[in-house]
Structure 1
Amino acid sequence: MQITEENEKALVKEILLKLGVNDADANLVTEVVLDADLKGFTSHGIGRFPQYIKTIDANNIKLTGDIEIERETESMAIVNGHSLFGQVVAYKSMELAIDKAKNTGIGIVGTHNSNHFGVTGFYSDLARKRNCIGLTFANTEPAIAPLNGKKPLIGTNPIAISIPNQETYIATDMATSATARGKILESKRKGLKLPEGVALDKDGNPTTDPEEALEGSILAFGTHKGYALAFMLEILCGPLVGAEVGTGVTGTADWRKDCTKGDLFVAIDPEKFVGYDVFEQGTNKFIKEVRDADNGFVPGDIESKRVEDHKENGMPIDDALYQQLKDICDGLDIDIIKYITE
């Protein structure tokens, strides 16, 4: 089965509106969901959408309220999201960071009491679109065991960086684990095995079974380097921003629990440093060197090709996901057939 860009946008928004989400928030959440699928991050797009519906039903995503700025200076802020949609809290927080960067050169905003916000790179891209460098970090429910350990204590803790450029999309968006938890959930839904070398079962043995991996732990990428980076991000997105850390982090995958993770959004304005034109000239010089190399590609090239392909040919919907979406639609008196084609 397939769904087009236009139909996914319409379906997600109709579901949200039927649930009582206001129009502005529904538009934003829809945009974030679609962004993930267009880029090929299917585990964080419409495949993750049913989790948001369950979280709303559990009253762990609040549909009304406002974010609160608890502390603030010219260059930083701490935001309490009051359990609103993670996408709404993250969007407003990055926009605040960008505004501060435009004023002082750099803006840093930390958030707590938010929710799962979808694909991390959407928010670093917000800065890119306003000619700023964007960095987004988050911690998640424990999934990675410490080196030589078996019990998960650290999240998959994603990191995204986007670089502004007038000619080329330059961005990276990745988990600090060997694979994202969302991809394991997706593999479980599809009945697929995991690649070798990404997960351990609860006894610390290698496994390719997603169910065993979810009960066990996910390996950090690059062994100790990925672990060290995940560890550091745990602190930046936990104690620094007033959020939980380690085993205290809940609600990013288990919708039945309050979300206690934290996020950190950073915007840097090159205009305040060396001037935007000088910055872009240096960036383009480096890009040319990479592209002139044999098979050289720039981070973001793969995503750009996926977006082009998905806009033209649509995006796949597996049978299990279709049934999840159909169950949601049936409960809201929505005809899913008009959105998804064989």
Structure 2
Amino acid sequence: MKIMKDNEIALVKEILKKLGASEEDSELVAEATIDADLKGFTSHGLGRFPQYLISIESGTINLKDNITIEKETPAIALINGNSGFGQAVAYKAMKLAVKKAKEVGIGCVGVHNSNHFGVTGFYSDIAVKEGVIGTVLANTDPAIAPFGASEALIGTNPIAIGIPSDSYIAVDMATSVTARGKILESKRKGLELPEGWALDKDGNPTTDPEAALEGSILAFGGFKGYALAFMIEILTGPLVNAEYGKGVTGTASPTKNCTKGDLYIAIDPSKFGSMEDFKAKTTDFCNQARAAGENVSIPGDLEVKKIANAEANGMEIDEKLYEQLKEICDDLDIDFDSYLEE
């Protein structure tokens, strides 16, 4: 069975509004959810949605959220998310960073006391749509062991960068070989992991999702990936008054208060020179890369293809996820099956 784009948006909004979320928050969560599924990050789309409902029931997501700007300069701000929806807090943070970038050239906004926000690239895309470069960093519950150790200490710590251009140029990736959400998704579907993804709690390689969740996920690229994850942990922990290392909870444990941090950076290319020149040179660089070989892709190409396919054919819902969402909808007197297609 599958669900089409508009139906997924409508379903998420109906569930959240019945639970008491505001119209604005319901819209933002729905848009972030479908963005993940359209791009193929299904572990962070509808498949992750039940986790948010557990957080709402546990009180770790505050339905009456409203951010507090604790510190601010023309280029910088520090936001307390007051335990609101991660998607709503992240949206407001990036919009503020964009505003500052357009005023002074760069905006850098740190966030603490928020929640899991879906895919990181949804927020760098917001900056791109406003004509500025967007960069987003975040930390998560411990998942990566320090290089040479076996106990998880550092998050999967994603980074996303989007470039305003005549085509879609973007990267959104975890600093681990895979996102924790894919481990959770494999566990839900009863699938083994590929070799080289994870270690068990004793530091041995494993393809068992349960053992991987109890152990650690490998950093991509060996020491280089670990080093990047390490640096992001500092930029999204101590820098923004959020937790770090073993102190981070709530991104993989929805019943615990979310203590992770985020950093949103927007840069206005027009403050460096002509925006038209920037776009022309960016396009020329992309063309040079494509000319290097017929199978060359640039960052963002794969997502464009996946979006087109998903919009045309819908997103698959596996049996376990169907059961989870059906139970949620039944409790809220929502006809889940009416949103689906065979």
Matched, 1:176 2:175: yes
- Other structure's SS at 1:153 match: coil
CA distance in 1, matches of 2:270, 2:223: 36
Paired AA for residue 120 in structure 1: T
Please say if residues 65 and 85 of structure 2, whose CA atoms lie closer than 8 Å, have aligned partners that are also in contact.
no
Query: 1:275 Cα shift?
Result: 2.1
Q: Which amino acid in the other structure matches residue 269 of structure 1?
A: D
Match of 2:248 in 1: 249
Aligned residue in 1 for 2:132: 132
Q: Aligned letter for 1:300? A: G
CA distance in 1, matches of 2:115, 2:86: 4
Deviations 1:141-173 (A, max 9, x none): 00000011111000000000000012x100000
**Structure-2 residue corresponding to 1:217:** 216
User: Residue type of the partner of 2:177?
Assistant: A
CA–CA distance in structure 1, aligned partners of residues 27 and 217 of structure 2? 33
The residue that corresponds to 1:264 in the other structure is: 263
* C-alpha distance in structure 2 between counterparts of 1:324 and 1:65, whole Å: 26
Q: Which amino acid letter does the alignment assign opposite residue 150 of structure 1? A: S
Q: Which segments of structure 1 move beyond 3 Å, counting only runs of 4 or more?
A: none
The answer for the alignment partner of 2:40 in structure 1 is 40
Residue aligning to 1:312: 312
Give the aligned partner of residue 228 of structure 2. 229
CA displacement, residues 122-155 of structure 1 (integer Å, 9 cap, x when unaligned): 0000010011000000000000000111110000
Instruction: Indicate the percent of aligned positions where both proteins have the same amino acid.
Output: 64
Aligned partner letter, 2:232: L
Q: CA deviation at 1:209?
A: 0.5
Matched letter for residue 341 of structure 1: E
Structure 2 counterpart of 1:202: 201
Equivalent residue runs for 1:188-199 within 5 Å:
188-199=187-198
Name the counterpart of 1:293: 292
CA distance in structure 1 between the partners assigned to 2:147 and 2:138 by the alignment: 21
Quote the residue 2:106 is aligned against.
106
Q: Distance in 2 between matches of 1:148 and 1:24?
A: 45
State the Cα deviation string for residues 228-276 of structure 1 (Å, max 9, x = none).
0000000000000000000000000101100000000000000001221
CA distance in 1, matches of 2:65, 2:172: 30
Counterpart of 1:83 in structure 2 is 83
Q: Deviations over 1:4-54 (max 9, x none)?
A: 111111111110111011111101110000000001000000000000000
- Residue type at the aligned position of 2:8: E
One-letter identity of the residue aligned with 1:159: I
CA RMSD of aligned residues (A): 0.6
Query: Aligned to 1:265, what secondary structure does the other structure show?
Result: strand
- In structure 1, the partner of 2:59 is 59
What CA distance in whole angstroms lies between the structure 2 residues aligned with 1:91 and 1:24?
Answer: 11
* Mapped partners of 1:27, 1:297: distance in 2: 32
| In 1, Cα distance between equivalents of 2:184 and 2:341 | 24
C-alpha distance in 1, partners of 2:13/2:65?
20
Aligned-partner SS, 1:257: coil
Deviations 1:35-85 (A, max 9, x none): 000010000000000000000000000000310000000000000000000
How many residue pairs were aligned? 341
The separation in 2 between residues aligned to 1:243 and 1:98, in whole angstroms, is: 22
Looking at structure 1, the residues matched to 325 and 340 of structure 2 have their Cα atoms a distance apart, in angstroms, of 10
Partner of residue 74, structure 1 = 74
Question: CA offset at residue 212 of structure 1?
Answer: 0.4
- Cα distance in 1 for partners of 2:147, 2:91 equals 34
Aligned position for 2:283 = 284
Structure 1: tracts of 5 or more residues without a match: none
How far 1:281 sits from its partner (Å)?
1.3
Q: Hey, what's the Cα distance between the residues in 1 that align with 2:151 and 2:292?
A: 43
1:22 corresponding residue in structure 2 = 22
**3-state SS of paired residue (2:117):** coil
Matched, 1:149 2:146: no
User: Which stretch shows the higher mean deviation, 289-298 or 46-55?
Assistant: 289-298
* 2:10 alignment counterpart: 10
